[in-house]
Amino acid sequence: MSNITNQTLSEIINNIKSKKLSSQEVTKAFIERSEKSKKLNVYVTENFTSAINQAKKFDEKPNYELKLPGIPIAVKDLFCTNGVKTTAGSKILNNFIPNYESTVTQNIWDQGGILLGKLNCDEFAMGSSNETSFFGNVQNPIGENLVPGGSSGGSSSAVAANLTPVTIGTDTGGSIRQPASFTGTVGLKPTYGSCSRYGIVAFASSLDQAGPMSKNVKDAAILLEVISSFDQKDSTSIDFKRNKYSEELTTKIKGKKIGIPKEYRVEGMSEEIENLWKKGIEHAKECGAEVIDISLPYTNYALPTYYIVAPAEASSNLARYDGVKYGFRSPGKNLIDMYEKTRSEGFGEEVKRRIMIGTYVLSSGYYDAYYLKAQKVRQLIKKDFDDAYKKVDAILTPSTPSSAFKIGEKKDDPVSMYLNDIFTVPVNLAGLPAISIPAGLDKQGYPLGLQIIGKPFDEQNILNIAYSMEEKINFKNKILDWWI
Amino acid sequence: MSKVEKFLIKRGNNQYEVVIGLEVHAQVNSKSKLFSSSSTKFGAEPNTQVSLVDAAFPGMLPVINEFCIKQAIKTGIGLKAKINKRSIFDRKNYFYADLPQGYQISQYKYPIVGEGTVILDMPYGQKKVGIERLHLEQDAGKSIHDMDPKNTLVDLNRSGVALMEIVSKPDLTSPEEVNVYIKKVRSIMRYLGTCDGNMQEGSLRADVNVSVKRIGESKLGTRCEIKNVNSIKFMQMAITSEANRQVDLIEEGKQIDQETRLFDTKKNETRSMRSKEDAHDYRYFPDPDLLPLEITDDFIQKIKTEIPELPDEKKSRFIEKFNLSSYEANILVSDLDTSKYFETVIENSDVKLSSNWITGELFALLNEKNLEISQSPISSKNLSKLINLIKDGTISGKIAKTVFEIMADGDKNPVDIIEEKGLKQQSDPKELEKFIEKVINENQDKVKEYKSGKEKLFGFFVGQVMQASRGKANPQLVNEILKKKLK
């Protein structure tokens, strides 16, 4: 049998179901490799001992009906996990142990998943390089001192480095798709309202969505099927009929109309990305899809809109971290002094920057000019997609304007960092589903991703298109275990 | 409204009118909180009724309590107000230790209830007070500053409890109107069962906006808001004190600053809490965790069928059906329990006598013992019996008062009391004649005087007979027989 950790999720599931592998063997294999991979700094909290015990329990009384039978899975440290420290990558939650479970992770455990550990991420999911984490930056297994993307950087690195079969991330402006693109992995952001936000540390409530990250499209479909559910504990959760994504997965996409938005041809975009996109278009055609030029005229306004809406919501969502009830507290002379010290010391620079931006755009006298206007533009961006979807079934774009960059390269230039999200944020603003699949390597051998954007609740369609293109692209990730 | 009744503040030749608007915070009568399933029960051990949502744990989300929405709509209907089919929950952002989320979920631009009207019965006639809006919001927790020498303690039991903020238009012009307004709004909510109106437990509090202007002037003066006053008496004191302060400033040629003030009940004065410049910027914005609240016509219609008869309608019915005066009817309907008590009594008893006994003797008794009518020591059943005994002549009104006093100690059946104490009215003419003859015999000189024209002495004879019978003689019969005997 080939190395366990190299296997895809569906292979491991099959091997467990056919009793070729036990849950313990699988769990131990990922733990062993994780132990050797500390240099990548993907884990904030390891749950290895408990994972082995649970795997043992599974093997004693296996239930092969489950969708994730005894599968160890590490998750982004933004999901609250009962009894296991949950930090959101922040000092302010450094000592926080929830006594409750997020709906998404609960769905995974209910299907036989086993918690392997909590994965590093940008602080409160604010970042595109995993450099804002209080627990240090994460290394990209693609190359030393390369960022894994963000904010789900620990997750993308862990999947790419074979430290977990699959994982879940959260995506507010690209936090699943961009790191997937940077690590040669697959990342899917579902339609807003598909996956419950209950128990996920909130960044920007109207944009946040959990989603699967995996080595291939099929694995993403399996995991999406498990985590997507209607939840009354989240008022924005939507009760729609969910497909059996993995069972219904097909490469038959003949006649599907795929739109190519001209506005995504941004200024200064490298020729490599341009070529990757062109190749993608060819692949789509080869798969039988019809390619149509479309226009999404408000695309240019998406990034500024996002950087008003997201910080505004974040500034309010993060108000609860005040040192009063839980988490880090720095003593002060009085209440205000305690607040100031706690929040000054407890939050990192990027989080503070966004809280300040958010507070500013909501302030009286500025609200209309920023927040209200941004909401209006957001509607226009949504309308762009609505109009486009009258003509096409899905939209194909690059996932990111560049491949992974060096650690520290953009750290002091927030605007250039924010530009990483240029292709991903419109999707969040419009609440749409989108998947990033690896589509090629640049000159340096770093992966590049393509993004397929779908209609609301049309996850099955983008999974099918991705599945079909994946076959044609036949991407091979170059991971040389440089850290071991 | 006659000019005489106007509440004015005078300084020399200058007269000032007072303009008052109220923001009443009424706790919604509900078992669980506005966005969580925690209990709202008053008086529990601190921090025992707190869910993860109430304590704002990471990743926790609010889920609206449908019952609280119904209660708000019911109240809106009771206030004859427009129900908004679409309303939005906003976040009001500020930091405080008893506000775990760092924001209060409230309704800002789009409240659930719009404009309405409340009718006040004033001695000088009816007065309409406009309602500006009613919105739903979360209550904060409680900071306790005096239990620990160094620390402030926080109790989150109240955190997240549903409040209705009922905002009036600046239509009130005197402390007395404020008194009647609060009582009327409270009465409507008690009829509806949407708020218990208990001011001691903080279920009803108000922010009071006060401004003054020269009499007849149309332009409103600068207003000050007096925060969180929790009794009608204090509201009235605060208004009087604040209005006088503002008038003094104007008289001194000084300017009134728009600000938030607190009422010091011990010193009977308001003092500045924060000025307009220091006013919080609450950074309101729609709560992205909650969808806009959409209410269907069917939903509203269904609630309308659950609305009981409200004070105004009940009053009209009492006047029409029972021929009560507006004044009497008003007293009887002002409180739901009083009206229920009254309606039970009159099921079997005379309406007029019932009204008199309830608003007279019973109210005096309750007042003296500081009890609500729901705690009345005399049940409506027994009061009804007592009234019937008066009506059918078994006892006199005077004896009835004695019986009433005995009933007040343990809700005894008046029939038994009369039996036990032998208080039954003496209506047997033969027995009465005995008393009358005795009195005439013993007062021959007075009889002479009477017969020679001093007719005023008749009362004396009646009194003597009543005394001789220890109050039991039927006064009407005594009158008749006496008149014959003294001819």
- Whether the predicted pLDDT of B296 surpasses 80: yes
A200 to chain B nearest CA, in Å? 4
- Whether the predicted pLDDT of A324 surpasses 60: yes
Domain tally, chain B: 3
B149 to chain A nearest CA, in Å? 13
C-beta neighbour count of A243 within 10 angstroms: 19
Q: Whole-angstrom Cα distance, residue A372 to residue A299?
A: 18
8 Å CB contact of A325 and B55: yes
Q: Indicate whether B90 and B212 sit together in one domain.
A: yes
- Which stretch of DSSP H or E encloses residue B398? helix B397-408
Q: Indicate whether B260 and B402 sit together in one domain.
A: no
Give contacts of B290 with chain A, Cβ < 8 Å. 235-236
A388 to chain B nearest CA, in Å? 26
Q: Transcribe B102-153 into DSSP letters.
A: SEEEE--SS-SB--EEEEEEETTEEEEEEEEEEEEEE---EEE-SSSSS--E
Q: Whole-angstrom Cα distance, residue A467 to residue A253?
A: 10
Local structure of residue B172 (DSSP, 8 states): B
Is residue A175 part of the annotated active site? The answer reads yes
Considering only CB atoms, B289 lies closest to which of A235, A324, A325, namely A235
User: What percent of chain B is predicted at pLDDT more than 90?
Assistant: 74
Q: Which residue is closest to A88 within chain B, CA to CA?
A: B58
Using a CB–CB cutoff of 8 Å, tell me whether B291 touches chain A. Answer: yes
Between β-strands B224-229 and B204-214, what pairing exists: parallel, antiparallel or unpaired? antiparallel
- Which stretch of DSSP H or E encloses residue B484? helix B475-485
Q: Which of B52-61, B232-241, B414-423 has the lowest mean pLDDT?
A: B414-423
pLDDT in tens, B66-86: 999 999 999 999 999 999 999
Q: Which of A76, A189, A218, A455 is catalytic?
A: A76
Give contacts of A198 with chain B, Cβ < 8 Å. 59-61
Interface of B with A in 298-337 (CB under 8 A): none
First-to-last C-alpha distance (Å) of chain A: 22
CA–centroid distance for B75 within its chain: 16
Q: What separation in angstroms does the CA of A78 have from each of A75, A151, B333, B430?
A: 8, 10, 57, 99
Give chain B's mean pLDDT.
92
Considering only CB atoms, B97 lies closest to which of A198, A206, A324, namely A324
pLDDT for B5 equals 63
- Whether the predicted pLDDT of A2 surpasses 70: no
- Which stretch of DSSP H or E encloses residue A398? strand A394-398
Q: What is the mean pLDDT of residues A168-174?
A: 98
The residue type at B13: N
Q: Model pTM?
A: 0.91
pLDDT band at residue B467 under the 50/70/90 scheme: confident
- Whether the predicted pLDDT of A75 surpasses 70: yes
8 Å CB contact of A319 and B60: no
B20 to chain A nearest CA, in Å? 27
A376 to chain B nearest CA, in Å? 14
Q: What is the mean pLDDT of residues A321-341?
A: 96
8 Å CB contact of A322 and B289: no
8 Å CB contact of A322 and B59: no
For residues A150 and A107, the answer to whether their CB atoms sit within 8 Å is: no
Closest among A290, A293, A291, A282 to A469, alpha carbons compared: A282
Between β-strands B90-93 and B259-264, what pairing exists: parallel, antiparallel or unpaired? unpaired
Looking at B304, B338, B360, which one is the last position of a domain?
B304
Using a CB–CB cutoff of 8 Å, tell me whether A109 touches chain B. Answer: no
SS3 B28: coil
Give contacts of B281 with chain A, Cβ < 8 Å. 363-364
Q: Indicate whether B408 and B451 sit together in one domain.
A: no
Q: Whole-angstrom Cα distance, residue B461 to residue B464?
A: 5
Q: Indicate whether B189 and B297 sit together in one domain.
A: yes
Sheet holding A43-46, edge to edge: A43-46, A114-119, A72-76
pLDDT for B41 equals 93
For residues A204 and A172, the answer to whether their CB atoms sit within 8 Å is: yes
Q: What is the mean pLDDT of residues B271-285?
A: 86
Q: Indicate whether B276 and B247 sit together in one domain.
A: yes
Is residue A151 part of the annotated active site? The answer reads yes
8 Å CB contact of B58 and A88: yes
pLDDT in tens, B300-309: 999 999 999 9
8 Å CB contact of B283 and A235: no
Q: Transcribe A291-355 into DSSP letters.
A: EEEE--GGGGGHHHHHHHHHHHHHHHHGGG-SSSSSS-----SSHHHHHHHHHHHHS-HHHHHHH
Q: Which residue is closest to A104 within chain B, CA to CA?
A: B59
Q: Indicate whether B80 and B178 sit together in one domain.
A: yes
Is residue A76 part of the annotated active site? The answer reads yes
| Residue ranges of domains in chain A | 4-257
Q: Indicate whether B405 and B464 sit together in one domain.
A: no
8 Å CB contact of B102 and A320: yes
Local structure of residue B44 (DSSP, 8 states): P
CA–centroid distance for A173 within its chain: 9
Closest among A380, A9, A334 to A164, alpha carbons compared: A9
Q: Indicate whether B234 and B356 sit together in one domain.
A: no
Q: Which residue is closest to B64 within chain A, CA to CA?
A: A235
Considering only CB atoms, A319 lies closest to which of B57, B103, B285, namely B103
Using a CB–CB cutoff of 8 Å, tell me whether A125 touches chain B. Answer: no
8 Å CB contact of A235 and B154: no
Q: What is the mean pLDDT of residues B466-472?
A: 82
Looking at B379, B405, B421, which one is the last position of a domain?
B421
Using a CB–CB cutoff of 8 Å, tell me whether A416 touches chain B. Answer: no
Q: Transcribe B256-302 into DSSP letters.
A: PPPEEEEEETTTTEEEEEEESTT------EE-TTS--EE--HHHHHH
Looking at B392, B421, B450, which one is the last position of a domain?
B421
A205 to chain B nearest CA, in Å? 6
Residue in the structure block whose two tokens are 């408990």: A50
Q: What is the mean pLDDT of residues A147-159?
A: 98
Using a CB–CB cutoff of 8 Å, tell me whether A192 touches chain B. Answer: no
pLDDT for A1 equals 46
What CATH number is given for A4-257 in this structure? 3.90.1300.10
- Whether the predicted pLDDT of A305 surpasses 50: yes
For residues A292 and A261, the answer to whether their CB atoms sit within 8 Å is: no
- Whether the predicted pLDDT of B2 surpasses 60: no
Phi and psi of B426, rounded to 5°? -90, 110
First-to-last C-alpha distance (Å) of chain B: 55
Q: Where are the beta strands (DSSP E) in A32-111?
A: 43-46, 72-76
Sheet holding A257-261, edge to edge: A167-171, A209-214, A186-189, A434-441, A447-454, A394-398, A257-261, A290-294
User: What percent of chain A is predicted at pLDDT more than 90?
Assistant: 96
Provide the residue range defining the domain that includes B329.
309-421
Q: Whole-angstrom Cα distance, residue B446 to residue B440?
A: 8
Q: What is the mean pLDDT of residues A214-223?
A: 98
Q: Indicate whether B467 and B383 sit together in one domain.
A: no
8 Å CB contact of B283 and A364: yes
pLDDT in tens, A437-477: 999 999 999 999 999 999 999 999 999 999 999 999 999 99
Q: Whole-angstrom Cα distance, residue B189 to residue B195?
A: 5
For residues B395 and B406, the answer to whether their CB atoms sit within 8 Å is: no
Closest among A215, A226, A143, A131 to A180, alpha carbons compared: A215
Count CA atoms within 13 Å of residue A227 on its CB side: 34
8 Å CB contact of B59 and A199: yes
pLDDT in tens, B89-144: 999 999 999 999 999 999 999 999 999 999 999 989 899 999 999 999 999 999 99
pLDDT in tens, B6-63: 899 999 899 999 999 999 999 999 999 999 999 999 889 999 999 999 999 999 999 9
Q: Whole-angstrom Cα distance, residue B306 to residue B195?
A: 16
Sheet holding B285-286, edge to edge: B103-106, B90-93, B285-286
Q: Which of A90, A152, A157, A175 is catalytic?
A: A175
Give contacts of B55 with chain A, Cβ < 8 Å. 325
B52 to chain A nearest CA, in Å? 9
Phi and psi of A177, rounded to 5°? -75, -40
